[in-house]
């Protein structure tokens, strides 16, 4: 019986990659990850889009891709969103700790390595749910936060891909009755 990764596979920033000499290529999402993301679904109300538009934050998240983000970028973005009052402290902390590898002193290693944050949270959520079924009460309290982190990442991706939605106003419109 083998414990850990065998062969030409290695873990890098929460993502399993195949070691092909000098290059590493990411492994596509497994069926289990896709199933977990489908079960979690999507919550369009996880972020207040109207408030983001009011604060003109579209340029800050334009092009955000949770499937190709570094630990440092995700940490900075979560601190930024928490500072703007868009996510809770717990959600920000959950996002900041995502995908990080730490040395024995607790210092993050390789914070610029890209990883798939949605895949990371789906795998973690699956592990937490398994532990919850086994009777771990702490794990059952973490489930809503990990789901919320997935919702926030999905909403940021959607918001970053768009042009910034704004609520219609009558500002600048003049009409004679």
**What are the pLDDT digits (tens) for 16-66?**
555 555 554 554 557 888 888 888 888 888 898 889 989 888 888 888 889
User: Position of tokens 């990659």?
Assistant: 17
- For residue 161, give Cα distances in angstroms to 4, 74, 150, 175: 38, 17, 17, 34
Residues with Cβ < 8 Å from 77, sequence gap 6 or more?
61, 64, 95, 156
Task: Give the span between the Cα atoms of 74 and 97, in whole angstroms.
Answer: 9
Q: What is the DSSP string of 99-152?
A: T-EE-TTS-EE-TT-EE-HHHHHHHHHHHHHHHHHTT-HHHHHHHHHHHHHHHH
Q: What are the tokens at 40?
A: 């979690």
pTM over 0.85: no
Task: Give the span between the Cα atoms of 103 and 107, in whole angstroms.
Answer: 6
> pLDDT digit string (tens) for 70-119?
888 898 999 999 999 999 999 999 988 887 776 677 666 777 888 888 99
User: Position of tokens 């679904």?
Assistant: 41
């Amino acid at each position: 019986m083998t414990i850990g990764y065998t062969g030409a596979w290695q873990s890098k920033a929460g993502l399993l990659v195949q070691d092909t000499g000098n290059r590493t290529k990411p492994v596509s999402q497994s069926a289990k990850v896709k199933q977990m993301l489908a079960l979690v679904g999507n919550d369009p109300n996880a972020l207040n889009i109207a408030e983001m538009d009011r604060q003109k934050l579209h340029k800050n998240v334009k092009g955000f891709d949770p499937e190709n983000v570094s630990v440092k970028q995700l940490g900075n973005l979560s601190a930024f969103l928490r500072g703007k009052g868009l996510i809770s402290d717990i959600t920000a902390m959950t996002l900041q700790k995502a995908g990080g590898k730490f040395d024995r002193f607790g210092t993050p290693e390789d914070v610029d390595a890209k990883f798939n944050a949605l895949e990371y949270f789906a795998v973690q959520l699956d592990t937490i749910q398994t532990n919850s079924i086994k009777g771990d009460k702490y794990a059952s309290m973490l489930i809503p936060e990990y789901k919320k982190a997935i919702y926030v990442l999905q909403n940021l991706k959607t918001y970053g891909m768009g042009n910034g939605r704004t609520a219609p106003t009558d500002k600048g419109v003049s009409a004679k009755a």
